[in-house]
């Protein structure tokens, strides 16, 4: 009983604010204005990342690198280490830690519904928010392009109707979240309308090495999105525009691609758990968007191949893989045809 009472006390301390009732209009406008006043810029790349478990192992192994070069190289391949390019290097593209801090302050204060602020012009694009938890947050209509959420925990959150182009979710965990197209009658707050829909735009977003469970991208515009090395289970790509996306070396435990646009999608190295995966993909994808002859399936091993994926290794054992996939067998996809045939050297340029 004491433990239950203690849990209730802690739950009561987690504030959940109603933006309409608890946030005065003037304060809401100040928050929105603050997000637009701060601008993205380039700053020094952090040399040490306190929340990146794989990189902390890299730093620890630096002490034995000269004595154990083969072990260091093997661990680097497994953990996908990225070596710092040098002290004092600037980050690759502009970012705004201030916008990330504003977002985190809003969430920590008890705000979970961002629609009112998004409607008023809240700008969280370029937010530098690695290792950030977004738990039960509703971001409908948000401006998040070029934000960084690497190694984040994104659970039970609603990103429908948001602008998330070129966002980095590398090594993040996405569970029970929604990035699908948003019908206007289902929208929250000021975005609700009797008809129409709001697109979710994910073009160029990077989910390399992510763990993605029970999450929907249905109907989203996701051209050139990267899922390389990710593990996917219960993922919905129904009607998703995935042209030029990449699933290289991904572990696809379960995903729906019905009516998805798969023009020039890369599946080379992906691991799948149905012998007819390619035939099924050819049958259900948007007509004419998937070229079956571009890929072949080759038998692989759960213990040797699936467990070689760092995300699968960290989150599943072989038996869990069999249980989640519903299969004792696995196949690796291999691309055997190029996406484009090079034009002959003497071909005149097109007008």
pLDDT at 80 over 90: no
Domain identity same for 186 and 280: yes
State which residues form the domain around 260.
16-41+94-335
pLDDT at 10 over 60: no
Q: Give domain status of residue 31, yes or no.
A: yes
User: At 62, is the pLDDT very low, low, confident or very high (cuts 50, 70, 90)?
Assistant: confident
Q: Give domain status of residue 8, yes or no.
A: no
What span, in angstroms and rounded, lies between the C-alpha atoms of 68 and 60? 13
Summarised one tens digit per residue, pLDDT across range 274-309 is 999 999 999 999 999 999 999 999 999 999 999 999
* Nearest by Cα to 226 from 251, 211, 241, 248: 248
Question: CB under 8 Å to 297, separation ≥6 — which residues?
Answer: 272, 275, 277, 278, 331, 332, 333, 334
Domain identity same for 62 and 206: no
Is residue 39 classed as helix, strand or coil in its secondary structure?
Answer: coil
pLDDT at 340 over 80: yes
Q: Give domain status of residue 11, yes or no.
A: no
Question: CB under 8 Å to 284, separation ≥6 — which residues?
Answer: 257, 258, 259, 260
Percent of the chain exceeding pLDDT 90 equals 79
User: At 49, is the pLDDT very low, low, confident or very high (cuts 50, 70, 90)?
Assistant: confident
Please state the length of the chain: 351
Summarised one tens digit per residue, pLDDT across range 244-269 is 999 999 999 999 999 999 999 999 99
- Number of structural domains, the chain? 2
What ranges in the chain are assigned the alpha helix state H?
2-12, 19-22, 25-37, 53-61, 69-79, 97-108, 115-120, 277-284, 310-315, 318-325
On whether the CB atoms of residues 334 and 281 are closer than 8 A, the answer is no
Summarised one tens digit per residue, pLDDT across range 95-137 is 999 999 999 999 999 999 999 999 999 999 999 999 999 999 9
Q: In the predicted model, what is the mean pLDDT of the chain? A: 92
This prediction has a pTM of 0.90
Q: Which two tokens stand for residue 49?
A: 């990342």
More confident: 271 or 8: 271
What span, in angstroms and rounded, lies between the C-alpha atoms of 48 and 57? 11
pLDDT in the model for residue 172 = 98
Among the candidates 57, 89, 121, a domain finishes at: 89
Domain identity same for 60 and 133: no
Q: Give domain status of residue 6, yes or no.
A: no
Summarised one tens digit per residue, pLDDT across range 147-179 is 999 999 999 999 999 999 999 999 999 999 999
What span, in angstroms and rounded, lies between the C-alpha atoms of 46 and 37? 25
Residue 151 — φ and ψ, nearest 5°?
60, 20
* Nearest by Cα to 118 from 65, 62, 162: 162
């Amino acid at each position: 009983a004491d433990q239950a009472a203690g849990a209730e006390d802690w739950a009561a301390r987690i504030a959940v604010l109603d933006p309409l009732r608890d946030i005065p209009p003037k304060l809401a406008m100040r928050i929105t204005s603050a997000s637009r006043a701060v601008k993205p810029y380039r700053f020094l790349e952090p040399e040490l990342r306190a929340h990146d478990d794989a990189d902390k192992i890299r730093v620890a192994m630096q002490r034995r690198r000269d004595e154990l070069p083969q072990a260091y190289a093997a661990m680097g391949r497994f953990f996908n280490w990225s070596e710092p390019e040098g002290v004092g290097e600037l980050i690759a593209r502009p970012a705004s830690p201030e916008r990330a801090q504003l977002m985190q302050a809003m969430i920590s204060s008890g705000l979970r519904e961002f629609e009112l602020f998004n409607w008023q012009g809240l700008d969280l694009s370029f937010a530098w928010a690695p290792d950030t938890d977004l738990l039960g947050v509703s971001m409908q209509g948000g401006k998040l392009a070029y934000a960084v959420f690497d190694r984040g925990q994104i659970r039970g959150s609603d990103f429908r109707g948001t602008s998330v182009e070129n966002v980095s979710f590398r090594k993040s965990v996405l569970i029970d979240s929604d990035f699908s197209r948003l019908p206007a009658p289902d929208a929250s707050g000021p975005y609700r309308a009797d008809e129409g829909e709001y697109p979710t735009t994910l073009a160029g977003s990077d989910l390399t090495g992510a763990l993605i469970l029970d999450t929907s991208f249905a109907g989203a515009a996701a051209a050139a999105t990267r899922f390389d090395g990710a593990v996917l289970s219960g993922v919905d790509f129904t009607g998703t525009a995935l042209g030029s996306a990449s699933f290289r070396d991904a572990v696809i435990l379960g995903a729906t691609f019905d009516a998805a646009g798969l023009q020039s999608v890369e599946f080379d190295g992906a691991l799948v758990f149905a012998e007819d995966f390619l035939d099924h993909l050819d049958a259900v994808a948007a007509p004419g968007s998937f070229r079956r002859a571009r890929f072949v399936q080759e038998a692989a091993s759960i213990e040797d191949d699936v467990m070689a994926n760092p995300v699968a290794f960290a989150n599943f054992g072989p038996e869990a893989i069999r249980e989640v996939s519903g299969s004792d067998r696995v196949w690796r996809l291999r691309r055997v045809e190029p996406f484009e045939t090079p034009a002959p050297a003497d071909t005149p340029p097109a007008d």
